[in-house]
Amino acid sequence: MSSAGILFRSPVERGRRIESEFASAVLAGLRHQPKELPCKYFYDEEGSRLFDLICELPEYYPTRTETKLLRDKAGEFAQAIGGDVELIEFGAGSLMKAGIVLKALRNPRAYVPIDISGDYLRGMAQKFAKEFPRLPVHPVVADFTKTLKLPQSGARRVGFFPGSTIGNFTRPEAAAFLRRAAVLLKGGGLLIGVDLVKDPAILHAAYNDAAGVTEAFNKNILVRINRELDADFDTDLFAHYAFYNPAQQRIEMHLMSLEAQRANVAGETFAFREGETIHTENSHKYTADGFRALAEEAGFTPKAVWTDPDRLFSLHWLEA
């Protein structure tokens, strides 16, 4: 999960169900061995609502820890970044986090939120128009994991990528994203939130909350598939399964079939063995030094890094 989970909302239109990117991705994932589903499709309306609840859970530390870091270190990162910059947010996260950054910066020239959901971006633009009436907002509907073409403002570009969403990428995917970002932000830099390696018990609790909200969030992707792709998954026959993989330094989230069964999706039938899983998400954790090394290999110059007193989470300022 990412505390900027709403950044992964999908623009799928129900009238184009079978032909949609969503359908293609789901079918490809279920054909894959082992079976998998892209985590960016968690965030339909109900998934976004459930993730908002997750962010408030006592076990889920990333959102509140990063938010406190942003507030506590606002003066320091603003000084490191400098003034008169265009802030580019990779994935339109919460108004609160971007607002903290924009309020800290000296004379921000523009805000460019990037998201694949046009409806969500329009809502974001309206909110920012009220909160920052003098700030030009240029929403861009795009998949930020691909090469981007952004409007030219002439201002120095600074990226903002909160929520440790970088952790949802594999290491090669993270390196590829950082390489593209280093080119896009040349002359500026990137302020990025990164979750840290820690006691596995803390991680286990964060992804297996006592209230069962994360379980509902994980299963909701099957509910969405049922609704949008004429599928017939029985969600009661799948169990939420999340664990820390120390060799990969990541949380893995799965849906495990509780018995041998079949499910029909968009005209195809998929068989599941008892105990077989659908891999729905990774959340990679880093050491501060390990992430700085990855960023440097990708073309950034690592500068300041801030962590909370318990070293649960980190913020990095990388110059491009």
Q: What is the pTM of this model?
A: 0.89
Which pLDDT score is estimated for 43? 84
Residues 6 or more apart whose CB falls under 8 angstroms from that of 117 comprise 9, 10, 11, 92, 141
Q: Which superfamily, per CATH, for 62-198+285-319?
A: Vaccinia Virus protein VP39 (3.40.50.150)
Q: What are phi and psi of 220, to 5 degrees?
A: -60, -25
Per-residue pLDDT of 159-202, as tens digits, reads 999 999 999 999 999 999 999 999 999 999 999 999 999 999 99
Which pLDDT score is estimated for 141? 85
Count of Cβ atoms closer than 10 Å to residue 170 Cβ: 12
Which pLDDT score is estimated for 20? 84
Count of Cβ atoms closer than 10 Å to residue 249 Cβ: 17
Which pLDDT score is estimated for 1? 66
Which pLDDT score is estimated for 279? 98
Which pLDDT score is estimated for 17? 41
Alpha-carbon separation of residue 201 from 34, 96, 166, 212, 245 (angstroms):
27, 29, 22, 17, 12
Amino acid at 1: M
Which pLDDT score is estimated for 82? 96
Which pLDDT score is estimated for 75? 97
Extract the residue ranges of the chain whose pLDDT is less than 70: 1-19, 93
Helix axes 21-31, 213-228, angle to 10 degrees: 110
Which pLDDT score is estimated for 275? 98
The ranges of the chain annotated as CATH 3.40.50.150 are: 62-198+285-319
Q: What are phi and psi of 218, to 5 degrees?
A: -65, -45
